[in-house]
C-alpha cells in the first residue's frame, strides 16, 4: 500500500478500481486545519485527467504496469499484430486501443506494449524514427522566408511539416511524441 504522503510523479496507483498515473502532486499545509495532498491524475485506460485531494495517511494499492518490448508485425483491417521476440507469441490489439500511436512506425519495428493485468491499453512507439519522404512539393529558389515549411508524406503515410530544402527520397529523423521533423539523416 502506498500512502498519499508518499506519492511521486510517474507512480501508478489503483483508486476506486481505476488505475491512475500521478502527473503532479503537491503537499499542502494550510495555516488552519489538517494537511492534504493535491494531485493531478491520468486514467491510464481512458486517458482522462482528473484532480483529486487526499489526506496524507490515505493508502492505495500500487498498480503494476508492465511494459514489454514487442515487434510490430502488420495490420489487418482494424487489428494490429505484435510479436514477443523472446517467446515468439503473437497478440493483436484493436485500432480503438492504439489510436494514432503507430502513425510513424513501420512494420517490423520494435515498440513497447503497455498492459495492466495482462490487458494491453496502449502502445509506446520509439522516441525517434527515421523515415523516407515519399511525396513532397519541390522547394523553389527564392522561397527562403524565415522558417518556411511545406508538408511532406513519409513512408508510413503520415504528413510532417519540413523545411523547403527537403526532397523526395530524403530520410528524415522524426520525434514521434510531437510529430516534428528534427533533421535529415
119 & 142 share domain: no
Q: Compute the distance between CA of residue 122 and CA of residue 83 in angstroms, rounded to an integer.
A: 15
The string of pLDDT tens digits covering residues 62-104 is 988 888 999 999 988 889 999 999 999 999 988 887 878 888 8
156 & 176 share domain: yes
69 & 120 share domain: yes
Residue 141: predicted pLDDT: 62
pTM for the predicted model, two decimal places: 0.72
The string of pLDDT tens digits covering residues 10-33 is 888 998 888 898 889 999 898 888
Question: Of 42, 60, 78, which closes a domain?
Answer: 60
Domain CATH for 27 = 2.30.30.30
111 & 150 share domain: no
**C-alpha Rg value of the chain to the nearest Å:** 22
Domain CATH for 167 = 2.40.50.140
Confirm if 70 and 80 have CB atoms less than 8 A apart.
no
Question: Of 108, 124, 140, which closes a domain?
Answer: 124
113 & 152 share domain: no
Q: Which residues share a beta bridge with 90?
A: 83
Q: Which residues contact 170 (CB under 8 A, 6 or more apart)?
A: 132, 133, 184
Q: Compute the distance between CA of residue 130 and CA of residue 176 in angstroms, rounded to an integer.
A: 10
73 & 116 share domain: yes
Q: Which residues share a beta bridge with 175?
A: 128, 180
Residue 137: DSSP 8-state: P
140 & 118 share domain: no
118 & 89 share domain: yes
Nearest to 114 by CA among 9, 24, 12, 6: 12
CA torsion 34-38-43-47 (nearest 10°) is: 160
Q: Which domain holds residue 92?
A: 65-124
> Angle 142-145-146 (CA atoms, 0-180°, nearest 5)?
140
Question: Of 81, 103, 124, which closes a domain?
Answer: 124
Residue 44: predicted pLDDT: 82
User: Is residue 147 exposed (0-12), middle (13-18) or buried (19+ Cβ within 10 Å)?
Assistant: exposed
Instruction: Provide the number of structural domains found in the chain.
Output: 3
Residue 60: predicted pLDDT: 93
The string of pLDDT tens digits covering residues 119-149 is 888 888 899 999 999 998 887 666 566 678 8
Q: What is the mean pLDDT of the chain?
A: 87
Amino acid at each position: 500500500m502506498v500512502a498519499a504522503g508518499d506519492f511521486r510523479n510517474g507512480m501508478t496507483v489503483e483508486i476506486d478500481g481505476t488505475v491512475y498515473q500521478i502527473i503532479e502532486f503537491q503537499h499542502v499545509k494550510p495555516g488552519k486545519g489538517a494537511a492534504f495532498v493535491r494531485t493531478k491524475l491520468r486514467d491510464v485506460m481512458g486517458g482522462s485527467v482528473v484532480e483529486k485531494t487526499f489526506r496524507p495517511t490515505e493508502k492505495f494499492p500500487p498498480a503494476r504496469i508492465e511494459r514489454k518490448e514487442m515487434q510490430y508485425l502488420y495490420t489487418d483491417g482494424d487489428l494490429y499484430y505484435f510479436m514477443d521476440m523472446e517467446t515468439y507469441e503473437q497478440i493483436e490489439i484493436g485500432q480503438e486501443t492504439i489510436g494514432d500511436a503507430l502513425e510513424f512506425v513501420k512494420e517490423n519495428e520494435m515498440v513497447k506494449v503497455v498492459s495492466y493485468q495482462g490487458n494491453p491499453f496502449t502502445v509506446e512507439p520509439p522516441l525517434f524514427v527515421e523515415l523516407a519522404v515519399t511525396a513532397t512539393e519541390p522547394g523553389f529558389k527564392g522561397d527562403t522566408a524565415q522558417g518556411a515549411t511545406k508538408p511532406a508524406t513519409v513512408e508510413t503515410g503520415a504528413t510532417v511539416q519540413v523545411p523547403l530544402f527537403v526532397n523526395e527520397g530524403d530520410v528524415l529523423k522524426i520525434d514521434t511524441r510531437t510529430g516534428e521533423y528534427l533533421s535529415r539523416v
